[in-house]
């Protein structure tokens, strides 16, 4: 009997702590969607444009290095982007979506700006690969999560819009990076895009906030329960 009451009280407590503090599908929802669109444009667009840097590095800067070695920079960045999402989601619950996205913006800036002073593949892997990869991972995860939370009826449309930002970003950022590379070289291309990255990310993520009170029961940083589910594993 006591166990049943305890479970009911726990269920009621969870429902109260996760009670919506703002309605979905409102004007602020679309403002957040617009901000997330630019987050995707900058993060995915810059990350997906690494191929331009790779060709430039091989032909002008790292001629003695193998193309396969240079490609590790972009590979590591992609891997870190996907891996960091595990921690970004939990961090957003603790400190908020805006602050998590800002951390990603700053990390992305540090990674690109530091890469502009590098002179070896190893250093570029550490900066343009690891640090920048974690940064865009935080931005990407935050953008997806916050939009999913603020929409119910139009969630599919909203997620489609911000996902389109990735493709558009690839077109826009590749042209910008190519133009700077041809005129100022790769070091200034990295520096200019780093300031673009952090400036725009910090600005457009200002409206990011939780629609639901997530400061509920403490959660583990990584929950492995899903791995026990046949549906998830399959």
Residue spans per domain, the chain: 26-57+72-208
Tracing tokens 């996902």 back to the chain, one arrives at 163
> What percentage of residues in the chain have a pLDDT greater than 90?
69
* Residues 6+ positions from 175 with CB-CB distance below 8 Å: none
pLDDT of residue 12: 47
How far apart, in whole angstroms, are the C-alpha atoms of residue 232 and residue 145? 19
> What percentage of residues in the chain have a pLDDT greater than 70?
82
Residues 119/23, Cβ–Cβ less than 8 Å: no
| Selection from 46, 14, 12, 19 nearest residue 199 by Cα | 46
Compute the average pLDDT of residues 51-70: 89
Q: Binning pLDDT at 50, 70 and 90, where does residue 219 land?
A: low
Q: Taking all residues of the chain, what is their mean pLDDT, rounded to a whole number?
A: 86
**How far is the CA of 206 from the CAs of 23, 29, 133, 135, 199, in angstroms?**
19, 13, 22, 17, 11
pLDDT of residue 128: 96
Provide DSSP, 47-108. HHTHHHHHHHIIIII-TTS-HHHHHHHHHHHHHHHHHHHHHHHHHHHHH-HHHHHHHHHHHH
pLDDT of residue 136: 96
What six digits make up the tokens of 224? 């492995």
Paired with 212 in beta bridges are 20
Measured from the Cβ of residue 160, the count of other Cβ atoms closer than 10 Å reads 10
pLDDT of residue 15: 46
pLDDT of residue 197: 96
pLDDT of residue 62: 86
How far apart, in whole angstroms, are the C-alpha atoms of residue 199 and residue 108? 11
Most confident of the following: 65-74, 83-92, 190-199, 213-222:
190-199
* Torsion-angle region of 53 (φ positive above 0: left; ψ -120 to 50: alpha; else: beta): alpha
How far apart, in whole angstroms, are the C-alpha atoms of residue 225 and residue 120? 41
Hey, which CATH number is domain 26-57+72-208, 1.20.1250.20, 3.50.50.60, 3.10.129.10, 1.20.1270.10?
1.20.1250.20
pTM above 0.85, yes or no: no
pLDDT of residue 46: 94
Measured from the Cβ of residue 215, the count of other Cβ atoms closer than 10 Å reads 12
pLDDT of residue 9: 46
Q: Residues 77-93: pLDDT tens digits? A: 999 999 998 899 889 88
Q: Is the pLDDT of residue 4 over 60?
A: no
Q: What b/e sequence results for 134-148 when a residue is b if at least 16 CB atoms lie within 10 Å of its CB, and e otherwise? A: bbbbbbbbbbbbbbe
């Amino acid at each position: 009997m006591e166990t049943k009451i305890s479970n009911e009280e726990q269920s009621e407590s969870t429902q109260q702590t996760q009670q919506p503090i703002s309605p979905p599908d409102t004007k602020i929802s679309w403002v957040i969607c617009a901000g997330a669109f630019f987050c995707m444009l900058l993060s995915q667009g810059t990350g997906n444009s690494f191929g331009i840097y790779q060709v430039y590095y091989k032909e002008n800067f790292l001629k003695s290095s193998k193309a396969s070695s240079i490609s590790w920079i972009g590979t590591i960045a992609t891997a870190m982007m996907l891996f960091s999402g595990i921690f970004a989601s939990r961090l957003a619950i603790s400190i908020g979506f805006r602050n998590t996205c800002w951390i990603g913006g700053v990390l992305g800036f540090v990674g690109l700006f530091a890469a502009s002073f590098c002179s070896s593949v190893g250093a570029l892997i550490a900066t343009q690969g690891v640090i920048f990869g974690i940064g865009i991972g935080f931005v990407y995860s935050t953008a997806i999560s916050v939009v999913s939370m603020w929409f119910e009826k139009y969630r599919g449309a909203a997620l489609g819009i911000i996902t389109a930002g990735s493709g558009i970003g690839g077109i826009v950022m590749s042209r910008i990076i190519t133009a700077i590379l041809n005129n100022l070289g790769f070091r200034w291309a990295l520096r200019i895009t780093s300031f673009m990255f952090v400036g725009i990310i910090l600005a457009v993520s200002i409206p990011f906030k939780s629609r639901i009170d997530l400061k509920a029961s403490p959660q583990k940083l990584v929950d492995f329960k899903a791995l026990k589910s046949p549906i998830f594993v399959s």
